[in-house]
């Protein structure tokens, strides 16, 4: 590869870059053929063309054979700024370096030392293979001016720059012409790997690439047909996109209209009624009672063997066992709390508290919360009792009866306070947030909690008068 010589100071014209080509007629004879690469002033672009950066696929290439051009005719070059930004498709850090450039027939050589009498073997030299390389001006890869990019057939990318526009343009066109010539010459004598049938250059499928190889020409229309095929499919998809959406919407509407009702699914057994999380009135109506059967079962089991348990209702049971008990109840399976797996009384008390916590509407309905707060503020004891009793009587029947059964049970728990170490205040702290909460509980949580505990504690103390438990 020959480098361009400096301009003649008298004539101002540029010396031609001469390349000597080795003809394939004889392997021993070396004939030279000069190709002029002189550029006229009118051929020099005023500004580097503005082009958008294109994504180019980078694949491994087949070596097209030995170079047919004499590589070293003119070693005298110029100093250019070079940055290698990619190595075989792997991105590298961009570092600009001032290098001496030497252009041969099929290579662009960069050396840190000025080449005087040729490149020394083993010297620090970067070799850019020009066969199948692509050239383009770029303004996006660097903020410097007069920058052009070389993309080799192996996927390596180089940025070349010079502050002088004419110098950068001269090198751009010289390198581009050498790359084109090298690609054409190599395509005439392709070498094939033993396991490869690919004879086309690496970038033959890239837009804007032209090749003189006869084998590459019939492949281009097929490639274009494939692009048009996918493009037309995409266009058809976009035009029919709205109709597809309408079709999906219509199917969903038909599915929703034909969907069976909740009652039908319950009758067929696909959906079973739950106990935990079910509305109290709905549950009692389904069971034909005013107190849920699960509440009655738990209270009987606790009073049978757990009233004297230390910290009853305050100590938490094993959560996994409680969830297992809950699952059995929700699946309407037979529940035997006398079984050994429920021997821990705290599991039963924990399940009972969970039942009340998961009610959609608390045992003390939220709409009564503020009324109970006003009633508990009454100073006269008898008026306070009557006010609380009147509010409870205004509640739905399931709420009244369930409340009466629960507070009667808690009153019997307090009868063993010396053994179970549970006081009236301790029980009210446990059941206050469990049995009642404000509709907007996060507004004044601390204040509401104080009133919750006070209301439950007062009802525990006055349960005989409020629920008419005299003689029990």
pLDDT tens figures, 25-34: 444 444 444 3
Classify strands 90-91 and 78-87 as parallel, antiparallel or unpaired.
antiparallel
For residue 309, the tally of other CB atoms under 10 A from its CB is 20
The two tokens of residue 147 are: 């920058």
Distance CA 77, CA 116 (A): 9
What are 209's two structure tokens? 């690439």
Structure confidence at residue 319 (pLDDT): 94
Rounded Cα distance between 247 and 255, Å, is: 12
Phi (first) and psi of residue 81, to 5 degrees: -90, 125
**Count of beta carbons in the 10 Å neighbourhood of residue 225:** 10
By the 8 A CB rule, do 67 and 182 touch?
yes
Q: What is the pLDDT of residue 262?
A: 66
H/E run at residue 308: none
Pick from 175, 155, 141, 161: nearest CA to 98: 161
Residue located via tokens 């390198």: 175
Residue among 196, 197, 201, 172 at smallest CA distance from 186? 201
Query: Distance of alpha carbon 99 from its chain centroid, rounded?
Result: 45
- Tokens 């509980």, located at residue: 441
Q: Are 415 and 427 in contact (CB under 8 A)?
A: no
Q: Where are the alpha helices (DSSP H) in 211-344?
A: 219-239, 241-258, 262-268, 280-287, 293-305, 319-330
Neighbour tally for 103: CB within 10 Å: 27
Asked if residue 349 lies in contact with residue 306, where contact means CB atoms within 8 angstroms, the answer is yes
Which contacts (CB < 8 Å, 24+ apart) does range 426-430 have?
426/314, 427/313, 427/456, 427/457, 427/460, 428/453, 428/454, 428/456, 428/457, 428/460, 429/453, 430/313, 430/314, 430/353
Q: Taking a C-beta distance cutoff of 8 angstroms, is the pair 283, 397 a contact?
A: no
pLDDT tens, residue by residue, 53-91: 444 433 333 333 333 334 333 445 688 888 888 888 788
pLDDT at 213: 43
For residue 199 the two structure tokens come to 């004879």
Supply 241's token pair: 């996109």
Q: What is the pLDDT of residue 113?
A: 77
Which fold would CATH assign to domain 78-114+123-181? Answer: PH-domain like (2.30.29)
Phi, psi (deg, nearest 5) at residue 164? -85, 125
Contact (Cβ atoms closer than 8 angstroms) between residue 119 and residue 72: yes
Which residue, 468, 299, 342, is CA-closest to 334?
Answer: 342
CA 402/CA 408 separation, integer angstroms: 10
**pLDDT at residue 345, rounded to an integer:** 95
Give the residue ranges of the chain where pLDDT is below 70: 1-77, 115-124, 184-241, 262-263, 265-272, 440-443, 470-472
């Amino acid at each position: 590869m020959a480098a361009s010589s400096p301009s003649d100071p008298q004539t101002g014209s540029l010396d031609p870059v001469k390349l000597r080509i080795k003809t394939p007629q004889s392997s021993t004879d070396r004939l030279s053929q000069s190709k002029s690469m002189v550029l006229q002033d009118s051929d020099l672009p005023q500004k580097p063309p503005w082009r958008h950066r294109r994504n180019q696929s980078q694949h491994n290439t087949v070596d097209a054979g030995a170079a047919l051009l004499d590589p070293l005719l003119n070693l005298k070059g110029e100093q250019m700024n070079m940055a290698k930004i990619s190595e075989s498709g792997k991105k590298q850090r961009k570092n600009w370096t001032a290098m001496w450039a030497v252009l041969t027939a099929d290579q662009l050589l960069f050396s840190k030392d000025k080449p005087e009498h040729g490149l020394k073997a083993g010297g620090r030299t970067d070799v850019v293979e020009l066969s199948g390389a692509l050239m383009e001006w770029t303004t996006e890869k660097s903020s410097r001016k007069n920058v052009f990019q070389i993309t080799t057939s192996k996927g390596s990318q180089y940025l070349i720059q010079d502050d002088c526009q004419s110098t950068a343009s001269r090198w751009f066109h010289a390198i581009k012409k050498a790359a084109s010539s090298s690609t054409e010459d190599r395509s005439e004598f392709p070498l094939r790997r033993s396991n490869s049938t690919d004879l086309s250059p690496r970038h033959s499928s890239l837009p804007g690439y032209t090749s003189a190889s006869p084998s590459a020409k019939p492949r281009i229309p097929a490639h274009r047909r494939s692009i048009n095929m996918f493009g037309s499919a995409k266009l058809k998809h976009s035009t029919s996109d709205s109709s597809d959406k309408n079709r999906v919407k219509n199917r969903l509407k038909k599915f929703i209209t034909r969907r069976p009702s909740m009652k039908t699914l319950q009758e067929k057994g696909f959906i079973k009624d739950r106990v935990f999380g079910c509305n109290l009135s709905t549950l009692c109506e389904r069971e034909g009672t005013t107190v849920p059967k699960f509440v009655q079962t738990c209270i009987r089991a606790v009073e049978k063997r757990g009233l004297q348990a230390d910290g009853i209702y305050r100590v938490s049971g094993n959560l996994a066992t409680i969830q297992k008990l809950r699952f059995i109840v929700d699946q309407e399976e037979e529940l035997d709390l006398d079984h050994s797996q429920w021997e821990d009384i705290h599991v039963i008390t924990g399940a009972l508290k969970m039942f009340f916590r998961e009610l959609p509407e608390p045992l003390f309905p939220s709409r009564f919360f503020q009324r109970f707060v006003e009633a508990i503020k009454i100073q006269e004891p008898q008026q306070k009792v009557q006010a609380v009793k009147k509010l409870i009587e205004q509640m739905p029947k399931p709420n009244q009866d369930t409340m009466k059964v629960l507070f009667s049970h808690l009153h019997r728990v307090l009868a063993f306070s010396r053994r179970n170490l549970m006081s009236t205040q301790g029980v009210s702290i446990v059941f206050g947030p469990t049995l009642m909460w404000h509709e907007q509980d996060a507004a004044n949580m601390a204040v509401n909690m104080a009133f919750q505990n006070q209301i439950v504690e007062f009802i525990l103390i006055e349960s005989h008068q409020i629920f008419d438990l005299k003689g029990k």
